[in-house]
Amino acid sequence: MTITISIDCMGGDHGPSVTIPAAISFLKKQADVHLILVGLEDTIRAELRKHHGEGHSRITIKNATEVVTMDDPIEIALRKKKDSSMRVAVELVKDGSANASVSAGNTGALMAVSRYVLKTMAGVDRPAICSVMPNQKGGPTYMLDLGANVDCEPHHLHQFAIMGSVLCSAMEGNPRPTIGLLNVGTEEIKGNDVVKATGLLLKADHERGKLNFHGNVEGNDIFKGTVDVVVCDGFVGNVTLKAIEGLSRFVKSVFTETVLSMAGALLARKSLKKLNPERYNGASLLGLKGLVFKSHGGANAYAFEWALQRAYQAAKYDVQEQLSALIAELMPTSPGQASQA
Amino acid sequence: MTITISIDCMGGDHGPSVTIPAAISFLKKQADVHLILVGLEDTIRAELRKHHGEGHSRITIKNATEVVTMDDPIEIALRKKKDSSMRVAVELVKDGSANASVSAGNTGALMAVSRYVLKTMAGVDRPAICSVMPNQKGGPTYMLDLGANVDCEPHHLHQFAIMGSVLCSAMEGNPRPTIGLLNVGTEEIKGNDVVKATGLLLKADHERGKLNFHGNVEGNDIFKGTVDVVVCDGFVGNVTLKAIEGLSRFVKSVFTETVLSMAGALLARKSLKKLNPERYNGASLLGLKGLVFKSHGGANAYAFEWALQRAYQAAKYDVQEQLSALIAELMPTSPGQASQA
């Protein structure tokens, strides 16, 4: 089966100069992929020519006359720019023309447009943003929510755990991913009321053999690789993610400070690859009736290709179907009520 | 004026083998310091002998027969071990024998014991934990709360901002430190209800010329050095701090992985010093009727000495008096009410 991915070619800090070369390179690696390049047709064609990709049999161009900028407020993206590359790319998932969509555009706009176009999956109250980070065990740690929901109730966090578990299971071929609840300590009595109540919901699922709940984890466990999936609300997740990015940038700046430090980084480059955030680009907007992936806005072509790879895998490994099945099983009644009972 | 510091010599992962050499080294650097070494007298004397510190004219030994371990629950530290080195060290601040106290013991126990013995400062609802982190501008970023308060109301965060501002001002000789409110975006409309309401309180103080409120900041701003003081609740602060520690440890492990990466780290060592967390050891327990500093439990002697240095500076620069004055000015009525009005 061919996997079709629609790409918002205009999104991100760099637009087509990043998305097009990434698309061409990705096609070379995956034979069973078809790409729909969405955006200003002339611009896309010009960029394809530059990279000798014109006329590729597995590329379709879909014209879209507007572009959502990185600074556009959500309302503009949603109500004014109805023919934006971002929206058209997501609509291709909605109408079944694409199995997944990828954009490097602004996160708030992409989430709003995706929710509006695709709607939220049955049994899910709120979609969440899930990304992966490298850990010391050499594997990825899945973490969600990274900013879609700043105020969460226990049943929201419970749903995030289910969604993160399914995503990790499908993407990593791990039948029972361990789930950790991000907290200020590992003991059950730790944390605020929302986190404590969430712990009880997850424990109940664990005892029924439905989820593999490890218990509470702390901030350092993200990088230790203590669990496969780390669950938190979008406020904590967003602040933590950005603090991590800030520290990474600081470390990088230190290594480009002097000739000696640059030489040091060069010597250590093989080991440093482990920390390369570009390899971990591509966050999933989970809980929608369709697959949407968000690339970092500042991604280069190498990093954007990783986001394409994640979207491809999610489609190939039937993340949507598995998600629907587990949500239906764990939340048989209407959203929120089952988990709160 | 001589500054007297009481040291809980038994606290931390390493106890006297770290605290005693750090104390002796610190005395060599600061001529106007007197240290009271608190703990099991025989053990302290033995360690002093080992480091040629016995009979030092600026050392007093204060016997304490019990030790709060790193795993002791708060109730044990508070109700059972009334003659612990941790508690006796804090009592020396209470009775005026010491200007400040330093412990590497467990944070929860130290906060509980300090609150019980010293009580909370008038106008402060809840003490907070404040620490410093390195930033790209080469200065320290003060951040609080780092874990004392997992559920916060706007007036708590407001008080944290005042306390952080005073500490930074006194320690750095910066008359108007900038304050940032940790959030998921810089716009005023961002964040959850508590953060938005806190923003309004801080804005009002700013407009009255009382606090230098910069506005919202994001996780990456901690390391950018966008502001001098970053304010958040203890849940977010604790998770972020531990995530940062986890990533630092991961980076360190990558550099000790192969001979090449070790050589790389060696070449870059001068630049890497900027990132050295040992130089930033020593968190302040702010808002108590007395100065208490917390060293990292795993600190080595070099790092513990930095915690001593911070306690010394806080005492020398009258942090307590400045704190009382600003709290009284900004919160003229009973705790919480003034800020909520």
> Are the C-beta atoms of residues B306 and B102 closer than 8 Å to each other?
no
A314 pLDDT more than 70: yes
Residues of chain A contacting B270 with CB distance shorter than 8 Å: 258, 260-261
Nearest chain B CA: its distance from A283 CA (Å): 17
Q: Residue B332 has what pLDDT? A: 56
Render pLDDT for B36-71 as a digit per residue (tens, 0 to 9). Answer: 999 999 999 999 999 999 999 999 999 999 999 988
Choice between B335 and B232, residue whose per-residue pLDDT is larger: B232
A337 pLDDT more than 70: no
What is the distance between the alpha carbons of residues A111 and A116, in angstroms, rounded to a whole number?
8
Of A43-47, B84-88, B241-245, B247-251, the least confident = B247-251
Homologous superfamily (CATH) for B128-277: Isopropylmalate Dehydrogenase (3.40.718.10)
Mean pLDDT of chain B: 92
Render pLDDT for B120-132 as a digit per residue (tens, 0 to 9). Answer: 999 999 999 999 9
> Are the C-beta atoms of residues A82 and A65 closer than 8 Å to each other?
no
C-beta atoms of B271 and A260 within 8 A:
yes
Q: Which amino acid is at A45?
A: R
Percent above pLDDT 70 for chain B: 96
C-beta atoms of A274 and B263 within 8 A:
no
> Are the C-beta atoms of residues A303 and A296 closer than 8 Å to each other?
yes
C-beta atoms of B249 and A223 within 8 A:
yes
DSSP codes joined into one string, A279-337: GG--EEEETBSSEEEE--TT--HHHHHHHHHHHHHHHHTTHHHHHHHHHHHH--SSTTH
Mean pLDDT of chain A: 92
Burial B58-93 (b: 16+ CB within 10 A, else e): ebbbbebebbbeeebebeebbeebeebbbbbbbbbb
B4 pLDDT more than 60: yes
Q: Residue A340 has what pLDDT? A: 40
Segment A18-22 shows an average pLDDT of 98
Choice between A217 and B273, residue whose per-residue pLDDT is larger: A217
Q: Residue B279 has what pLDDT? A: 82
Residue A95, SS3? coil
Segment B246-253 shows an average pLDDT of 84
Nearest chain B CA: its distance from A142 CA (Å): 14
B172 pLDDT more than 80: yes
Nearest chain A CA: its distance from B20 CA (Å): 29
Render pLDDT for B173-216 as a digit per residue (tens, 0 to 9). Answer: 999 999 999 999 998 888 999 999 999 999 999 999 999 999 99
Tell whether A151 lies on the interface with B, counting CB pairs under 8 A: yes
Q: Residue B280 has what pLDDT? A: 86
* Residue A201: partners with Cβ closer than 8 Å, 6 or more residues away: A154, A155, A157, A158, A339
* Domains of chain A, residue spans: 1-124+287-341, 130-278
Render pLDDT for B109-165 as a digit per residue (tens, 0 to 9). Answer: 999 999 999 999 999 999 999 999 999 998 899 999 999 999 999 999 999 999 999
B337 burial type by CB count under 10 A (0-12 exposed, 13-18 middle, 19+ buried)? exposed
- The greatest distance separating any two alpha carbons of chain A, rounded to the nearest whole angstrom, comes to 62
Render pLDDT for A70-80 as a digit per residue (tens, 0 to 9). Answer: 889 899 999 99
Tell whether A111 lies on the interface with B, counting CB pairs under 8 A: no
pLDDT band of A38, cuts 50, 70, 90: very high
H-only helix segments in chain B: 16-29, 41-50, 74-75, 85-94, 107-118, 154-172, 193-207, 221-224, 234-255, 259-267, 269-272, 301-316, 319-330, 337-340
Q: Residue A332 has what pLDDT? A: 56
Residue B136, SS3? coil
CATH 3.40.50.10950 fits A1-124+287-341, yes or no: yes
Tally of CB atoms within 10 A around B213: 23
A331 pLDDT more than 80: no
Q: Residue A189 has what pLDDT? A: 85
A325 pLDDT more than 70: yes
A309 pLDDT more than 70: yes
> Are the C-beta atoms of residues A120 and A289 closer than 8 Å to each other?
yes
Tally of CB atoms within 10 A around A150: 21
Tally of CB atoms within 10 A around A122: 12
Render pLDDT for A163-215 as a digit per residue (tens, 0 to 9). Answer: 999 999 999 999 999 999 999 999 888 899 999 999 999 999 999 999 999 99
Q: In the CATH hierarchy, which fold is given to the domain comprising A130-278?
A: Isopropylmalate Dehydrogenase (3.40.718)
Q: Which two tokens stand for residue B84?
A: 């612990």
> Tokens 């009255």 correspond to what residue?
B208
The complex scores an ipTM of 0.88
Query: Of chain B residues 6-65, which have a CB less than 8 A from chain A?
Result: none
Minimal Cα distance from A257: which residue of B? B271
Choice between A301 and B138, residue whose per-residue pLDDT is larger: A301
Element containing residue A194 per DSSP (H, E) = helix A193-207
Minimal Cα distance from A262: which residue of B? B268
Minimal Cα distance from B218: which residue of A? A239
Tally of CB atoms within 10 A around A280: 19
Of A288-297, A325-334, B64-73, the least confident = A325-334
Q: Residue B336 has what pLDDT? A: 47
Render pLDDT for A118-165 as a digit per residue (tens, 0 to 9). Answer: 999 999 999 999 999 999 998 899 999 999 999 999 999 999 999 999
> Does the fold of domain B128-277 match that of domain B1-124+287-341?
no
Tell whether A247 lies on the interface with B, counting CB pairs under 8 A: yes
Render pLDDT for A219-270 as a digit per residue (tens, 0 to 9). Answer: 999 999 999 999 999 999 999 999 998 888 888 887 777 777 777 777 777 7
Of A88-92, A152-156, B273-277, the least confident = B273-277
> Are the C-beta atoms of residues A128 and A160 closer than 8 Å to each other?
yes
What is the distance between the alpha carbons of residues B220 and B320, in angstroms, rounded to a whole number?
31
Q: Residue A336 has what pLDDT? A: 47
pLDDT band of A338, cuts 50, 70, 90: very low
Minimal Cα distance from A191: which residue of B? B150
Tally of CB atoms within 10 A around B341: 9
Choice between A331 and A301, residue whose per-residue pLDDT is larger: A301
Distances (CA, A) of A116 to A75, A121, A187, B10, B230: 12, 12, 40, 60, 35
Nearest chain A CA: its distance from B333 CA (Å): 29
Q: Which amino acid is at A27?
A: L
Element containing residue A16 per DSSP (H, E) = helix A16-29
pLDDT band of B341, cuts 50, 70, 90: very low
Of B162-171, B240-249, B301-310, the least confident = B240-249
